[in-house]
């Protein structure tokens, strides 16, 4: 598969490494365009791919064009690509908050996939939510699906509105998890654990609990009840969460992210 990357930052590199590791493409079939010479040289030396600072040169012979730049840089790159993307080339965008209609108009191209990945994709454990324009063919959908599956799980959704929802849940979700890990670690230190011990306890508890949930076939509420004895220590902690309206706080946080995602897409 011939692939062009517009942007070679962390997420762009994650996709690049994944498609190479899974044998979807070869270094000879990949070209990365990036404005930073240092970044271009790093990617060339690390992955033996072609590099350039010219977006039209990068995309000229590609089947798939992956847009992996920051949203604020999009207005700079669209004029140089507008009218240069050929029918049959698939544009796959992981640019946060940029709607398909904006991409189609700015690039003068209708075969576009929009993706909301998340940062665990960098280690092959991510989840990507994606949708397409009607002009994307079944063959192109399969290309997109295969590329995204190299970074973890993927979910196709029929409407773009679900990507705003996914932004608030899976896109921002890792930060919610990291915050809870921070808070639980701080709590462990406050009750007397050395910090390194607290970090080890919390990290393995989170990892193990996630794996248990994944492999047990039980719901989160079932597993929670299995850990909770009436009048016991877990019950005391969970009651405090309920007293502080933890569920509503989580909802309000997700809702705030969702509303912000919609605002950014306007």
- pTM more than 0.85: yes
* pLDDT for 97: 87
Given CA atoms 11, 13, 19, 25 in this order, what sign does their dihedral have? positive
Domain 3-157 CATH superfamily: NAD(P)-binding Rossmann-like Domain (3.40.50.720)
Query: Any idea what DSSP says for residue 212?
Result: H
Query: Any idea what DSSP says for residue 7?
Result: -
* pLDDT for 263: 87
**How does pLDDT run along the chain (266 residues), one tens digit per residue?**
999 999 999 999 999 999 999 999 999 999 999 999 999 999 999 999 999 999 999 999 999 999 999 999 999 999 999 999 999 999 999 998 899 999 999 999 999 999 999 999 999 999 999 999 999 999 999 999 999 999 999 999 999 999 999 999 999 999 999 999 999 999 999 999 999 999 999 999 999 999 999 999 999 999 999 999 999 999 999 999 999 999 999 999 999 999 999 888 77
* CATH code 1.10.3730.10 region(s) in the chain: 173-264
78/257 Cα distance (integer angstroms): 27
Half-sphere exposure of 172 (CA within 13 A, CB side): 19
Contacts of 90 (CB under 8 A, 6+ apart): 63, 64, 65, 111, 112, 113, 136, 140, 143, 144
228/230 Cα distance (integer angstroms): 6
User: Quick one: how far is CA 36 from the chain centroid?
Assistant: 23
* CATH code 3.40.50.720 region(s) in the chain: 3-157
Fold type of domain 173-264: ProC C-terminal domain-like fold (1.10.3730)
Interior angle at CA 75, CA 70 and CA 80, nearest 5: 110
């Amino acid at each position: 598969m011939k692939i062009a990357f517009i942007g070679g930052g962390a997420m762009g590199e994650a996709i690049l490494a994944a498609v190479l590791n899974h044998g979807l493409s070869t270094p000879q079939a990949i070209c990365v365009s990036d404005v930073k010479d240092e970044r271009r040289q790093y990617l060339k030396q690390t992955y033996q791919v072609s590099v350039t600072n010219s977006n039209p040169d990068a995309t000229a012979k590609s089947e798939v064009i992956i847009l992996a730049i920051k949203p604020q840089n999009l207005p700079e790159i669209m004029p140089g690509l507008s009218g240069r993307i050929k029918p049959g080339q698939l544009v796959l965008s992981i640019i946060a908050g940029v709607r398909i209609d904006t991409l189609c108009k700015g690039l003068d191209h209708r075969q576009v996939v929009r993706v909301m990945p998340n940062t665990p994709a960098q280690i092959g454990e991510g989840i990507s939510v994606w949708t397409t324009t009607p002009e994307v063919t079944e063959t192109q959908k399969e290309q997109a699906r295969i590329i995204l599956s190299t970074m973890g799980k993927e979910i196709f959704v029929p409407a773009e509105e679900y990507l705003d929802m996914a932004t608030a849940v899976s896109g921002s979700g890792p930060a919610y998890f990291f915050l809870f890990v921070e808070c639980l670690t701080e709590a462990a230190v406050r009750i007397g654990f050395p910090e390194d011990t607290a970090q080890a306890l919390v990290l393995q508890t989170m990892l193990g609990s996630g794996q248990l949930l994944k492999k047990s076939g039980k719901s989160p509420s079932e597993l929670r009840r299995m850990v909770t004895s009436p009048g016991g220590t877990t019950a005391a902690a969970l009651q405090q969460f309920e007293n502080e309206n933890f569920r509503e706080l989580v909802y309000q946080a997700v809702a705030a992210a969702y509303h912000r995602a919609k605002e950014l897409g306007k």
